[in-house]
């Protein structure tokens, strides 16, 4: 007994502060949020009436104008474009750099640098670039298109009711592609040179080399990139707030939480937050399970 | 064991050091200081607050502590305030829009009934009866309005109208539509300038006042008027038509951007509250005229900032003195001349004010008061937010039936 304590004790003691903090401030508060989400606390007044899951049901069936479903749809479009854009551009850039361009370090920095800018700062700039005015009122990119006589490229950007969220994802893609590139580049570098040589000896063409030898080894990297970019996308808030502000056209669940909180509807805000948490968990948990399995195997 | 005791002694010692400091702060606060929580941190609002403080220093024996939280047109301040109220750390008084926006605080028992003080200070007689009606919740009043702004004002660019050959001011909705058509034919790209959600909500309200008249309009927010009546449908159709004359990129515009369309001669009309002229004048634009929104007649759609007495304020006597100053003729004059609004009291000397305010004071005395939803006089925060969302959706898809349904649901929020 005592020996076991001696073995476990010091370690446990060392991590106990962080365990305690995590327990209280992360898991404890998640529990509290879930409790609020099942209460009828819709105003600033204290209220602890238990209403079960009805706040969740209301979000899906009884929200004015189907607002929550609208915000989920916006998030879906945003996420698809964000993921596809960063993955494709990141892979392309990593591929080009991996082929051995001159001044690779410079390009790497140039592509990676947008990530250093905060979404708020870049959002303000992109707000101006994606000015929706056209023709005589054009500004930002639309004005540039106009000056180049490429008027057909002028578009309403994020103010388009159907596909505005595609435009909203453009700044996000711009910002995170470099990061995905860095991940892929590290992946490429991690592949032993022997494999390339062996493929060359076996007479593989360049296409076959990438298709059959290199890309399959990048799968874990691609998965990590997907998870990282995916969970950022789910929680997207600051970029949207600085480009469009909170409004119907571009509303996603995180912005909706903010709007609901401002009106002291704590129960509804908590319910949306919990759904958001579940969405992110949907992405992250399988990844964690998989990582744990591979670690145990090795 | 010894170590434990030492730790306990240290903890007690630390507490002992802290507590006298805490008590000392509370003591002097209770005697002397009145913490006034606002979001008036710069510009005309700050100047107005300074004027009010000068009057307060003269009338009261308390010292003013500025608890202003800047930024976000009050949204930052509201967050800070909400958490302070929850922790039971209420400021001595705080700024809030007068009217229904206070309903959350009232329901939560966070602010006190001021009806007795209204009688004592003669405010009941000094404020117009229409305003007193709008302010009362179950016969009680909870805040003292410091100023009045008018929201149903149409601003014009005089030369744009003259160039298009419009000489007479439109006085009915029909005449306004004719004028907008004339402007459109003259090549004005956006005859009526408008900004995003909340400013579109102001336009919707103005159109509804024209079709419903003041009484039924006010009833929309109290539940007395049915949102699904044919008159409302007519009003929404007119709103939809008005929107077709506006700048198409309205959802990207804040109100100052929309005002710039008027200044640049790209618009002939611009609906905005009467805080607009100070922005025009700072930017060197003087060629503007103003009229009550066509069809609104003598209806004065108001919004107001006000101060309250929070439950559990450290220094309720000091707060009462602050509220007395806020409601007094001197306090209101000191504040409003600098902020560019008008006093809520009707017993003021118009001659002290600039030209626009003089006419607004006249209208305030003679007109019928109706509250504004977009600015919290008629709607709770939840209702405003839901209405803005519905308006934003309508701006993108022009679904009139959906708007009617959503506005009806929004107006019902916070009514329980």
Q: Would you state the pLDDT for residue B6? A: 52
- B188 and B67: one domain? no
Q: What is the mean pLDDT of chain A?
A: 89
Per-residue b or e along B206-240, where b marks 16 or more CB atoms closer than 10 Å to that residue's CB: bbbbbbbbbebbbebbeeebebeeeebeebbebbb
Nearest to A253 by CA among A58, A75, A64, A55: A75
Q: What is the DSSP letter of B111?
A: B
Distance CA B255, CA B154 (A): 13
- Note whether B412 contacts A: Cβ–Cβ < 8 A: no
- B246 and B386: one domain? yes
Give the confidence band of B23 by pLDDT, cuts at 50, 70, 90: very low
Give tens-digit pLDDT for A95-145: 988 887 788 888 888 888 888 899 999 999 999 999 888 877 788 888 888
- B139 and B161: one domain? no
> Across the interface, do B82 and A244 touch by the CB < 8 Å criterion?
no
Q: What is the mean pLDDT of residues A35-41?
A: 91
Percent of chain B at pLDDT exceeding 90: 51
Q: Give the burial class of A297: count Cβ atoms within 10 A of its Cβ; 0-12 exposed, 13-18 middle, 19 or more buried.
A: exposed
- B248 and B171: one domain? yes
Q: What is the mean pLDDT of chain B?
A: 86
Q: Rank A174-183, A277-286, B25-34 by mean pLDDT and report only the highest.
A: A174-183
* Residue B19 falls inside a structural domain: no
Chain-centroid distance of CA B113 in Å reads 21
Of B266, B396, B406, the CB nearest to A161: B396
> Across the interface, do A251 and B396 touch by the CB < 8 Å criterion?
no
- B142 and B167: one domain? no
CA angle B150, B151, B154 (to 5 degrees): 105
How much of chain B is helix, strand and coil, in % rounded to 5? 55, 15, 30
In sequence order, the β-bridge partners of residue B66 are: B36
- B109 and B256: one domain? no
Q: Give the burial class of A3: count Cβ atoms within 10 A of its Cβ; 0-12 exposed, 13-18 middle, 19 or more buried.
A: exposed
Q: Are B56 and B341 in contact (CB under 8 A)?
A: no
Give tens-digit pLDDT for B237-257: 999 999 999 998 899 888 888
CATH number at residue B180: 3.40.190.10
For B132, left (φ over 0), alpha (ψ -120 to 50), or beta?
A: alpha
- B125 and B42: one domain? yes
Is residue A275's pLDDT more than 50?
yes
Q: Would you state the pLDDT for residue B18? A: 43
Name every chain A residue with its beta carbon within 8 A of the beta carbon of B189. Answer: 136-137
Chain-centroid distance of CA A292 in Å reads 22
Separation in Å, CA A62 to CA A29, A54, A65, A250, A259: 27, 10, 8, 20, 17
Nearest CA in chain B to A134: B249
Q: Would you state the pLDDT for residue B414? A: 65
Give tens-digit pLDDT for B257-308: 899 999 999 999 999 998 888 888 888 889 999 999 999 989 999 999 999 9
Give tens-digit pLDDT for B166-186: 888 999 999 999 999 999 999
- B174 and B268: one domain? yes
Give the confidence band of B415 by pLDDT, cuts at 50, 70, 90: low
Q: Are B309 and B111 in contact (CB under 8 A)?
A: yes
- Note whether B107 contacts A: Cβ–Cβ < 8 A: yes
> Across the interface, do B396 and A45 touch by the CB < 8 Å criterion?
no
- B133 and B46: one domain? yes
Distance CA B116, CA B102 (A): 18
Q: Are A98 and A89 in contact (CB under 8 A)?
A: no
Q: Would you state the pLDDT for residue B17? A: 44
Distance CA A54, CA A268 (A): 10
Fold of the A72-262 domain: MetI-like fold (1.10.3720)
Boundary of a domain, candidates B359, B381, B400: B359
Our count of domains for chain B comes to 2
Q: Are B108 and A44 in contact (CB under 8 A)?
A: yes
Q: What is the DSSP letter of A114?
A: G
HSE, side-chain direction, 13 A CA sphere, residue A206 = 2
Domain borders along chain A are 24-39+46-62+267-298, 72-262
Distance CA B147, CA B40 (A): 13
Q: Would you state the pLDDT for residue B177? A: 95
* Residue B13 falls inside a structural domain: no
* Residue B27 falls inside a structural domain: no
Name every chain A residue with its beta carbon within 8 A of the beta carbon of B386. Answer: 64
Where does B10-160 show beta strands of DSSP type E?
A: 33-37, 63-66, 93-97, 143-145, 149-150, 153-157
Nearest CA distance, B125 vs chain A (angstrom)? 33
Name every chain B residue with its beta carbon within 8 A of the beta carbon of A251. Answer: 389
Q: What's the domain range around B175?
A: 150-302+372-412
- B391 and B319: one domain? no
Of A42, A245, A249, the CB nearest to B396: A249
> Across the interface, do A133 and B249 touch by the CB < 8 Å criterion?
yes
Nearest CA in chain A to B109: A45
B91 contacts: CB under 8 Å, gap ≥ 6? B35, B36, B37, B67, B81, B84, B310, B313
- B340 and B284: one domain? no
Name every chain B residue with its beta carbon within 8 A of the beta carbon of A162. Answer: none
Give the confidence band of B72 by pLDDT, cuts at 50, 70, 90: low
Complex prediction ipTM: 0.85
- Note whether A162 contacts B: Cβ–Cβ < 8 A: no
Give tens-digit pLDDT for A199-247: 989 988 888 888 888 888 898 899 889 988 998 999 999 999 999 888 9
């Amino acid at each position: 007994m005592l020996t076991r304590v001696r073995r476990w004790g010091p370690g446990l003691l060392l991590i106990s502060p962080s365990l305690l903090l995590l327990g209280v401030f992360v898991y404890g508060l998640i529990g509290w949020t879930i409790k609020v989400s099942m209460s009828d606390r819709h105003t600033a007044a204290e209220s602890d009436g238990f209403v079960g899951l009805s706040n969740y049901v209301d979000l899906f069936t009884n929200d004015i104008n189907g607002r929550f479903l609208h915000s989920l749809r916006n998030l879906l479009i945003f996420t698809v474009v964000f993921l596809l854009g960063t993955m494709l551009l990141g892979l392309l850039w990593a591929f080009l750099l991996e082929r051995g361009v001159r001044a690779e370090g410079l390009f790497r920095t140039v592509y990676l640098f947008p990530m250093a800018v905060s979404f708020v700062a870049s959002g303000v700039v992109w707000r101006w670039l994606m000015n929706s005015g056209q023709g005589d009122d054009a500004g930002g990119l639309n004005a540039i298109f106009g000056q180049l006589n490429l008027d057909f490229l002028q578009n309403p950007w994020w103010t388009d009711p159907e596909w505005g969220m595609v435009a909203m994802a453009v700044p996000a893609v711009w910002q995170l592609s470099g990061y995905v590139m860095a991940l892929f580049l590290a992946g490429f570098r991690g592949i032993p040179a022997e494999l390339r040589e062996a493929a060359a000896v076996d007479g593989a063409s360049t296409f076959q080399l990438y298709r059959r030898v290199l890309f399959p080894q990048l799968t874990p990297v691609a998965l990590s990139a997907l998870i990282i970019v995916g969970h950022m996308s789910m929680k997207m808030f600051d970029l949207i707030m600085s480009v469009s502000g909170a409004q119907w056209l571009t509303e996603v669940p995180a912005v909706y939480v903010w709007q609901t909180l401002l009106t002291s509807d704590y129960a509804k805000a908590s319910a949306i937050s919990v759904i958001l948490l579940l969405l992110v968990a949907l992405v992250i948990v399988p990844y964690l399970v998989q990582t744990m399995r591979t670690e145990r195997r090795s | 064991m010894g170590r434990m005791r030492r730790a306990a002694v240290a903890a007690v010692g630390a507490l002992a050091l802290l507590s006298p400091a805490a008590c000392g702060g509370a003591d002097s606060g209770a005697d002397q200081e009145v913490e006034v929580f606002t979001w008036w941190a710069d510009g005309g609002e700050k100047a107005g607050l300074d004027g009010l403080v000068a009057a307060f220093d003269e009338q009261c024996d308390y010292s003013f502590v500025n608890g202003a939280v800047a930024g976000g047109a009050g949204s930052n301040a509201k967050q800070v305030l909400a958490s302070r109220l929850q922790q039971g750390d209420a400021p001595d008084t705080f700024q809030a829009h007068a009217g229904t926006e206070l309903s959350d605080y009232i329901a939560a028992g966070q602010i006190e009934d001021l009806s007795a003080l209204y009688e004592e200070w003669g405010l009941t007689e000094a404020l117009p009866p229409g305003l007193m009606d709008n302010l009362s919740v179950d016969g009680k009043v909870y805040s003292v309005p410091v100023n009045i702004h008018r929201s149903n004002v149409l601003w014009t660019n005089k030369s744009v109208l003259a160039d298009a050959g419009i000489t007479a001011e439109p006085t009915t909705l029909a005449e306004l539509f004719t004028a907008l058509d004339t402007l459109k034919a003259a090549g004005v790209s956006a005859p009526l300038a408008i900004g995003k959600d909340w400013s579109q909500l102001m336009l919707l309200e103005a159109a509804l006042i024209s079709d419903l008249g003041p009484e039924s309009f006010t009833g929309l927010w109290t539940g007395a008027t049915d949102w699904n009546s044919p008159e409302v449908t007519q009003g929404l159709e007119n709103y939809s038509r008005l929107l077709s004359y506006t700048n198409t990129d309205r959802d990207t515009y804040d109100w100052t951007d929309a005002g710039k369309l008027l200044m640049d001669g790209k618009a002939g009309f611009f609906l905005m509250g009467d805080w607009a002229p100070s922005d025009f004048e700072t930017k060197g634009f003087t060629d503007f005229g103003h009229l009550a929104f066509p069809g609104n007649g003598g209806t004065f759609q108001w919004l107001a900032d006000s101060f309250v007495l929070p439950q559990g304020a450290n220094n309720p006597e000091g707060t009462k003195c602050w509220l007395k100053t806020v409601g007094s003729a001197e306090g209101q004059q000191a504040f409003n001349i600098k902020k560019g609004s008008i006093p809520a009291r009707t017993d003021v000397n118009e001659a002290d004010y600039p030209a626009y305010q003089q006419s607004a004071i006249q209208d305030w005395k003679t007109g019928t008061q109706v509250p504004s939803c977009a600015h919290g006089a008629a709607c709770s925060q939840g209702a405003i937010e839901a209405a803005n969302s519905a308006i934003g959706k309508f701006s993108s898809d022009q679904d009139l039936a959906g708007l009617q349904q959503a506005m009806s649901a929004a107006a019902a929020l916070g009514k329980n």
